[in-house]
Structure 1
Amino acid sequence: MTTRARRLAALGALLLLVVAVVATVSAVIDSPWRLPVAVALLAAAVLAMWFAVTRTGARRLLAGLLALIAVVAFVLVSLSSSGLVSILFRVALVLAAVALIRDVVAHHPGLLGSDAPPPRTVPPARHGVLIMNMKSGGGKAERSGLEGHCRARGIDGVVLQPGDDLVDLAESAVNGGADVIGMAGGDGSQALVASVAARRDVAMVVVPAGTRNHLALDLGLDRDDVVGALDAFGEAVEQPMDLAEVNGRVFVNNVSLGLYATIVRSPEYRAAKVDTALGALPAALGPGSTPFDLRFTGPDGEPHLGAHVVQVSNNPYGRTAGARTIRPHLDTGHLGVVALVLDGDRAAGSFMAAIAVNRPERFPGFLAWEPTTFQVDSEGEIDVGLDGEALRMETPLRFTVSPAVLRIRRAAWATSRSPTLRELSLRSTIHVVWQTALGRT
């Protein structure tokens, strides 16, 4: 969405809301008690609709229910003074206004990073190269005809063959003059190409052709639109992104130790990732379970000699379990560390209860903090789940983060799905819409 389009959308949203309020006031102005009630219900409907389209999970369901209740109550209060068509017209104005507000906020360039400047618009790639793993994600790239779409757009497509070294392919592409390099595959492949792009200072495009595509989610991409991601090779927006490392190995999402790393190593994991993970939880956290040999220093400097789970992410996830599927920002310059230490069978039950109410931070053995470096030690090698791939690594594991080393390119439309939108307060929303309507950034 262009600056001019954002401003028109902001002005349109404000105009629709004003018309809806004025029409409501005009219809019920003769009724002293209906006037404040109708206006209050209209405001409640707008607020609930906003939360319904910007939140996820239980919060979205609750907000949607409250929006429906507010709308029904508004209709009932207004029926005695207005016709049904007139009332529904006002409700439609409010729905349209909320949709425009969401687009204005979601496309606002200043909301795509924490303290970083807004992404800059960049011209189309002069020599774009896309490396494609045609078998990743059950063959998503192959099914979408990605190779043919690359040819049609003038992008050099490189198909990953059995035995190929992905890092060597990326290096060869840059040596051949690529100024933008992309990867169509899973997050593990994205990390390898990102390490080359950062080292060689070329921009990178993420094409979500893997299974889970967590990086694409956090970047605001539509994970079901493999071909659409190619738009980033055209005129696009570009912004720096941090990269994390463990013992020199780059990761873009997270490294999991303990329970999850063990699950990833299981033969059944590839075939049924979610079912395997859920099936392993009762045995791993149930009676008699013992912590893994994972030694680290906690956020307050206290030593820990074991843990059931340690996860280190490239930038922190949300603060509660319900938000831990997304990282609102990828440019904080910090790692996100989460550790779970269960002291006995009763503690395991308490933690599962905290998970059930979506409040793991209330459990004393749940630790979460945001360092710039972190270290884990053990007696021998450690099973590691690195961006979903099973590895064994020598200890100690030393984690670091390199701020703003990767130039990431996205199509302008990708910003509309930025997870930052889900973290936005109502006050910030009003500020953004008002400033946009006035033509200010």
Structure 2
Amino acid sequence: MERHWTARLALLTGTAALAVLVVFAGLNSILLVAVGLAGVVLAAAGAWWMLTHTGWRRALAMALVVAAPLAVLVLYAVAGLLWVVLLSLVLWALAVSAGRAALVEDTEQGMPERSVRPPERPFLIMNPRSGGGKVEKFGLVEKARALGAEVAVLDPDHPQDVAELARRAVRDGADLLGVAGGDGTQALVAGVAAEHGLPFVVISAGTRNHFAMDLGLDRQDPSACLEALTDGVELRVDLGRIDTGGPERAEPGRVFVNNASFGVYAAVVRSPAYRDDKARTILEMLPDLLTRHSGARLIVRAGSLTLDDPQAVLVSNNPYERGDSAGLGRRERLDSGRLGVLGIGVGNAAEATELLLRGSQGRGLTTATAREVVVDADAPVIPAGVDGESLMLHTPVRCRLEPGALRVRVPRDRPGVPHVAPPMDWRRVRRMALTMGRVAAGRDKA
């Protein structure tokens, strides 16, 4: 019943948003909307031109990006209707938020978990530099050792093979492996844990902690993840693998827990200048990459889908939620057995504007799921970003999943993964709100 009330709230605030425009702006409301859309279109076009040009053209485009929305606001203010527009936007935002909340299913969306006994010889690897020094800040080494874990602290000045370090621990009798570090390090050790059928613990000491987020772990306090050693439950999640080079020059598969990216982003990150000056490197490289004057030409095959020459491709271990406009927020499940595919191919300012306005419905964005994704190119080697690590991979690159290959140990009590609202569907919201009304009317007659 609560979802029905939320649907009614969405309809009420949505109607109020339109009513505010009509009542206080009258016929000018049509002009207000048209001016606002024009400002968005001009700003989007300017952003595209700014990314695909250099020199004075880029300067003009940047001026357009700034001037278009400011001009819209000035016009609203001169007409004395700025407050009307702002109030209408606030009401509309509330309506969409309530509508999406009403559409969340009542059924449990979490992954199945089972109770387990604490490990006897846990082995944890910790990177002291990860996440700006979270290992030291939260006293993770001392707390883990107090719980009976053997801890290996990496030396930032002497790089170590963390996978080999984990394998050595397994040979010495470790019955659980864990990592306090970034997602790239998590993936390497997770591969060893899956190889030996051991449980794996994620300690959210990285910068972004995407894997930890989708497992429902506490990203604000990494030490809370250590409760998995004493009062934990176990999840079975999928593990992504990348095979490269084809049959004639096959290379060992690389594990990924989040995603692998190809195209524009991977090429920029691979540049030697990126680490020293990220913003300048991006602005210098994007014009040629976005207009396809440089970089490899990609061909992506995902089941029956073929993407010819996309500018960027993201292959994820389980799909990201469609409700996230950026497509990169959260994965509701990590056990669906399917890869997520996100391809971007924008050829001009009009397509860039359409992508901004229509999101996943725009022609420049392709989303799909598949059990296997093959990324080929007109080059023998292409750059890739695998869980944040910059690599060069021999083509063709084959991405696949190993369903349920990884046993992840997590605390029994954790923040959890919130229900992810689906895309807004006003018809469903209206039907839900009216259904409540009909039910109530039926009861009154009875």
Shorter-chain TM range is 0.5 to 0.7
In 1: Cα distance, 2:254 partner to 2:350 partner: 36
Counterpart pick for 2:265 among 260, 263, 274: 260
Instruction: Quote the residue 1:152 is aligned against.
Output: 146
Deviation at 1:238, TM superposition (A): 0.8
Q: 263-272 vs 359-368, which deviates more?
A: 263-272
CA change 1:291–1:352 in 2 (3 A) is farther
1:68 positional shift? 12
Per the alignment, residue 313 of structure 1 pairs with 316
- Give the aligned residue type for 1:391: L
2:219 aligned partner: 223
Aligned residue runs from structure 1 range 144-183, under 5 A = 144-161=138-155, 162-183=158-179
Question: Contact 1:384 / 1:391 at 8 angstroms: preserved in 2?
Answer: yes
- Superposed, 1:68-107 pairs within 5 Å as none
Aligned residue in 1 for 2:76: none
**Cα offset for 1:381?**
0.5
Aligned mates of 2:146, 2:234 — CA distance in 1: 23
2:184 aligned with 1:188, yes or no? yes
Say whether residues 1:350 and 2:359 are aligned partners. no
Q: Aligned equivalents of 1:369 and 1:283: distance in 2? A: 27
> In 1, distance between residues paired with 2:280 and 2:338?
31
Unaligned runs of 5+ in 2: 14-89, 244-252, 433-446
> What are the residue-to-residue correspondences of 1:277-426 with 2, within 5 Å?
283=287, 292-297=296-301, 300-302=304-306, 304=308, 306-319=309-322, 320-342=324-346, 344=347, 346=348, 349-357=349-357, 359-378=358-377, 379-414=379-414, 416-422=415-421
CA distance in structure 2 between the partners assigned to 1:295 and 1:190 by the alignment = 29
Q: Is the 8 A contact 1:291 1:307 kept in 2?
A: no
Which AA in structure 2 matches 1:191?
A
The answer to whether the Cα contact below 8 Å between 1:327 and 1:419 also exists between their aligned partners in 2 is no
**Is the contact between residue 125 and residue 151 of structure 2 (CA under 8 Å) also seen in structure 1?**
yes
SS of the aligned residue for 2:298 comes to coil
| Pair 127,332 (structure 1): closer, same or farther in 2 beyond 3 Å | same
Cα distance in 2 for partners of 1:396, 1:225 equals: 41
Q: Is the 8 A contact 1:291 1:341 kept in 2?
A: no
Following superposition, the deviation at residue 198 of structure 1 comes to 0.5
Q: Deviations over 1:219-246 (max 9, x none)?
A: 1112121111111111111110000111
2:109·2:332 contact (CA, 8 Å) conserved in 1? no
Contact 2:233 2:409 in 1 (8 A): yes
1:176-233 deviations in Å (ceiling 9; x for gaps) = 2222211000000000010011011111110111111111111111212111111111
Residues 369/179 of structure 1: CA separation in 2 closer, same or farther (3 Å cut)? same
1:241-281, Cα deviation, whole Å (9 max, x unpaired): 000111110001111001110232245655787x6798579
Match of 1:142 in 2: 136
| Percentage of pairs with the same residue | 37
Conserved 8 A contact 2:289-2:295: no
From the superposition, tell whether residues 188 and 407 of structure 1 become closer, same or farther in structure 2 (CA, over 3 Å).
same
What letter corresponds to residue 317 of structure 2 in structure 1?
Answer: N
Counterpart amino acid of 1:411?
P
Distance change (3 Å), C-alpha of 1:286 and 1:263: closer
Please state whether the residue corresponding to 2:413 is helix, strand or coil: helix
User: How many positions carry a matched residue from both structures?
Assistant: 332
**Which letter does structure 2 place at the counterpart of 1:153?**
L
Give CA-to-partner distance per residue, 1:135-160, whole Å, 9 cap, x none. Answer: 11222112222111112222211112
Residue 64 to residue 321, structure 1, CA distance change in 2 (3 Å): closer
* CA distance in structure 2 between the aligned counterparts of 1:421 and 1:164, rounded to whole angstroms: 38
Describe the shift of the 1:41–1:341 C-alpha distance in structure 2 as closer, same or farther (beyond 3 A).
closer
Distance 1:260 1:67, change over 3 A: closer
The amino acid that maps onto 1:128 is P
Which structure 1 residue ranges, 5 or more long, are not aligned?
1-13, 18-38, 49-60, 70-97, 428-441
